[in-house]
Structure 1
Amino acid sequence: MIVKILRKSSTFKAVNYNTGKVDKNKGELLLVKNFGVLQGIENLRPQDYINYLEAVSSSNTRIKYPQFHVAISTKGRQHSKEELSDIAQKWMEGMGYGGQPYILIFHKDTNNNHVHLVSTRVGRDGKKISDRFEKLRAYRVLDQIMGVGEQQVLKNHLEEALSYNFSTHAQFMMLLETMGYSLDLTDKAYTISKNGHQIGSIDLSKIDNKIADRIKDTVRVKQIRAIFEKYRSIYDTSVNNSEHGYNSSFADFLRKKFGLEIVFHGKNGMPPYGYTLMDHSKYAVYRGSEIMALNDIITGKPNQSNKSQKEQTQTHILPNLRDSQDEAKKESHEEIQSEHWQNKWDNILPVETPTPEHAPPELEIVVPVLNINISDDIDDEAILGRNRRRKRKARTNTR
């Protein structure tokens, strides 16, 4: 479950954005609360809600950005619109907005059920609703509602990360980073933080023991190489470098189809110098060089002639992808894997990106940033030298 306080605004354009979803049958207005006499009037216009919110906000002209716009999202369809409505109302109460006028809209046009709330930061008494440590309190209130403490959540995530086979500290850190945590190295442990505050730690000895017990699955490596070889001639492998990090059509396909997540390593907007592969379906992490050279998976758009050739000779590749089962059964199994692993590591669940003509300026999309030191990674050391390790600089994907 994710809660996101969206960008502040001096107007209440989020009302139009959300009611627009309803008009297009992409959303449903679930609740109109504390709007006084307006709640007894039928066929209200969006401007009616805006006028009421502006009237309440006008009692304190010192508040430059009175709009309060929030999205609460669940993973997939784990929670229904009724459950999300109940959670959202309790959350507003816990955040001090229970007596405020607000509208609650369910969005149904993405893969993850979510609701939006629009209210004003100005209270009935003319005072501003407290925003002290707001983002931190947002998750604490949500955890209390869900009955899940952050310590228990961290314990579960640590157990899951330690269930993977990995060969370096950097790879373990990367697993935790994809879950939304940040790690800092001390003498004998990693301290673990989330949402700006420390919530736990893990002894280095546990990580060292896991690394020492690692057994490389050579059969699986051959399977992954065969998958790479087959699909790199079909999907565009050129890497896009944007503010959200590195990505490619090829990498996106592998993550959704097979649970194979490529994490490119680079810095300062330069092309990637290496990559790490997370095999979420088999709980393993590999250095890129163990699978395929970087240049072989960032060569650009697929060659159509090569694609035809691959289709003609795929019978020589596919035996590595299955044991003794026929192709149809194997492809069916891969589809099941795709459904199971598609959103496994989306720690921050996406809220849909509105089209430019309808998107209010207050919406923002936050992408987790991986900031990991991979100084003990052999590939990184071979390319950039020991000086970078001495400087203890982070060298991983910035997305």
Structure 2
Amino acid sequence: MIVKFLRPASSFKGVGYSFAKILLDKGELMEVKNFGALSGLSNPRAEDYVNYLEAVTDKNKRIVYPQLHVTISTKSRDHSKSELTGIAEKWLEGMGYGSNPYLIIFHKDTQNNHVHLVSTRIGRDGKKVKDSYERIKGYQVLNQVIGLDENLQAQKDKNNALTYNFSSRAQFMMLLEIKGYTLNLKDGIYQIFKFGKKLDSLPVEKVDERIADYQQNKKRLEQLRAIIEKYRPDFNPELFPETSKLAGGGEGKTTGYNSELAGMLQRNFGLQIFFHAKDGKQPYGYTVIDHAKKAVYKGGDLMPLAEFIKPAPEQANHVTINKPVEIAEFPESEDFESPQINGDESENWYADDIENYHTEFTGFQAPGIYLPPLRIDISDDIDDEQINGRNRKRKRKARTNTR
């Protein structure tokens, strides 16, 4: 489950945005609390709620951005609109907004159920609700509301990562970073952080023991190569940059790289592809996380990067066909649900709705969509095959590549 703070605004545009969704039958007003005399009206308008919020806010002229606009999302339909509303009310109470006027609106126009919460940051006493470290606190309160034991979950995620086959420390760290954790190696111990605090630790020798046990599954790699070649004609493997979204529909800096083929592999075969690049340059390598078989591979073990992103001959004038993916042809690749990637800025599976709001109302620079940015530099973990191709023989020849 995700809690997302949308950028504070000087006016209560979140009300108009949500009521526009309601008029289009894409939203439903679930809860209205602490609006005083407005509760006596049979059919209050959006501007009535805005006027009330502004009246409360006027008690403190020093606050430039009084709007609180938050979304709480669940993956797919895991929680109903009523369950999400109950969670949102408890969350507002835990964050200190329980006595403030607020609206909760359910949105039903995306594949993930979510609610929007709109309130004022000013209380009836004219004081601003404390918002120090609110992104961290927001997750802490949400976890308390849904009964998530953060330390226990960290232990489970750590232990699950140790069940994967991986060949380097960087690959192990990647398994936890995609779930929103930050790792810091100090005095031979990995300190594991999330939600702004240390949740667990792990001796580095435990990771090294798993590395020593690593065995490459050549049969699986052959199967994955067969899958890629089968679907290359229908899903373009050429890379395209993913950029942050700016107000007005413009594009910001490059946040990563993706391809149609990589997206299909994750959706249908549990293969998460990470393209590694620096300083906005083209990727120098890639890593494959095979969730279906719990293994991590250097991209070069599968095929050189140049080969992976090379279009099929018939894609000279490519148009995506989106043929059905026949997973049954590959019995070892069971139908797989992509893992949930927990974290604050890295959660994007409801961005189709949020991004529209950012662009139209707030000028918020939204994060790139698809894969979360990783802070791991694995350039030393990329083997020579990545750049020069399979079976290159050195034989004391001068190195011809640069990286």
TM-score, structure 1 as length reference: 0.84
| Secondary structure at 1:244 match in 2 | strand
Q: Identify unmatched segments of 5+ residues in structure 2.
A: 244-253, 319-324, 389-403
- Give secondary structure in 2 for the equivalent of 1:18: helix
Mapped contact 1:9–1:66 kept (Cα < 8 A): yes
Query: Aligned to 1:222, what secondary structure does the other structure show?
Result: helix
Cα deviation, residue 154, structure 1: 0.5
**Other-structure match for 2:193:** 193
- Which residue number corresponds to residue 267 of structure 1? 278
Please give the alpha-carbon distance, in whole angstroms, between the structure 2 residues aligned to 1:33 and 1:371: 42
Residues 343 and 43 of structure 1, relative CA distance in 2, 3 Å threshold:
farther
1:107 & 1:301 partners in 2: Cα distance? Answer: 41
Task: Give 1:197 deviation, angstroms.
Answer: 2.9
Secondary structure at 2:362 match in 1: coil
Work out whether residues 232 and 311 of structure 2, in 8 Å CA contact, stay in contact via their aligned partners in 1: no
Q: Which residue does the alignment assign to 1:379?
A: 383
Aligned to 1:369: 373
1:170–1:375 Cα contact (<8 Å) kept: no
Per-residue CA distance 1:93-127 (angstroms, 9 max, x = gap): 00000000000011112222111100000110001
Tell me the residue number matched to 2:392: none
Q: Give the aligned partner of residue 74 of structure 2.
A: 74
The aligned counterpart of 1:132 is 132
Seen in structure 2, the aligned counterparts of structure 1 residues 331 and 27 have a Cα distance that, compared at 3 Å, is farther
1:342 — aligned with what?
338
Classify 1:145/1:38 alpha carbon distance in 2 versus 1 (closer, same or farther; 3 Å): same
Q: Are the counterparts in 2 of residues 192 and 201 from structure 1 also a CA contact under 8 Å?
A: yes
Distance 2:235 2:386 in 1: 29
C-alpha contact 1:375 1:381 (8 A) present in aligned 2: no
1:143/1:150 contact within 8 Å kept: yes
Whichever structure has more helix as a proportion of its residues is 1
1:221-300 aligned within 5 A: 221-241=221-241, 242=243, 243-300=254-311
What is the SS of the residue equivalent to 2:127? Answer: coil
Name the structure 2 match of 1:330.
329
Shift in Å, 1:234: 2.2
Q: CA, structure 1 residues 301+225, in 2 after alignment: closer, same or farther (shift >3 Å)?
A: closer
Question: 2: distance between equivalents of 1:97 and 1:42?
Answer: 25
Shift in Å at residue 374 of structure 1? 1.9
Q: Deviations along 1:169-208, whole A, 9 cap, x unmatched?
A: 1111111110001112223122122233332221111111
Give 2:172's aligned residue. Answer: 172
- Amino acid in structure 2 at the alignment position of 1:283: K
Distance 1:373 1:357 in 2: 31
Q: 1:131 to 1:357 in 2, by over 3 A?
A: closer
Tell me which residue corresponds to 2:85: 85
Q: Secondary structure at the match of 1:379?
A: coil
Match of 2:247 in 1: none
Hey, what's the Cα distance between the residues in 2 that align with 1:201 and 1:2?
24
Q: What secondary structure does 1:119 align onto?
A: strand
Moved more, 38-47 or 273-282: 38-47
| Bigger mean CA deviation after superposition, 93-102 or 353-362 | 353-362
Aligned-residue offset at 1:344: 4.0
* Aligned-partner residue type, residue 372 of structure 1: I
Residue deviations 1:327-368 (CA, integer Å, cap 9, x gap) = 79437996x61xx42354466253324547983216563454
SS in 1 for 2:180: coil
Given that 2:305 and 2:387 are in contact with CA atoms closer than 8 Å, whether structure 1 keeps it comes out as no
Matched, 1:55 2:51: no
Partner of 1:360: 361
Secondary structure at 1:105 match in 2: strand
Deviation of 1:381 (Å): 10
Q: For 1:260 and 1:26, locate their aligned partners in 2 and report how far apart those are by CA, in whole Å.
A: 33
Q: Which amino acid aligns with 2:282?
A: P
Does structure 2 conserve the Cα–Cα contact (< 8 Å) formed by 1:59 and 1:126? yes
**Matched letter for residue 196 of structure 2:** G
* Partner SS state of residue 280, structure 2: coil
8 Å Cα contact 2:15/2:118 also seen in 1? yes
Does the aligned pair in 2 maintain the 1:274–1:380 contact within 8 Å? no
Classify the secondary structure of the residue corresponding to 1:93.
helix
Partner Cα separation in structure 2 for residue 32 and residue 166 of structure 1: 51
Please identify, of 355-364 and 220-229, the stretch whose mean Cα deviation from structure 2 is larger.
355-364
- Closer, same or farther in 2 for the Cα pair 1:279/1:160, shift >3 Å? same
Give the aligned residue type for 1:14. G
SS in 1 for 2:296: strand
Q: 1:171 to 1:118 in 2, by over 3 A?
A: same
1:246-299 superposed Cα distances (whole Å, 9 cap, x missing partner): 111111111111111110011011000000001111111100011011011223
Shift of 1:141: 0.9
Distance in 2 of aligned mates of 1:207 and 1:22: 51
Residues 331, 32 of structure 1: alpha-carbon distance in 2 compared, 3 angstrom cutoff: farther
Deviations 1:60-110 (A, max 9, x none): 010000000011111221111111111110010000000000000111122
Q: Verify the 8 A CA contact 1:143 1:149 in the aligned structure 2.
A: yes
Cα distance in 1 for partners of 2:201, 2:327 equals 46
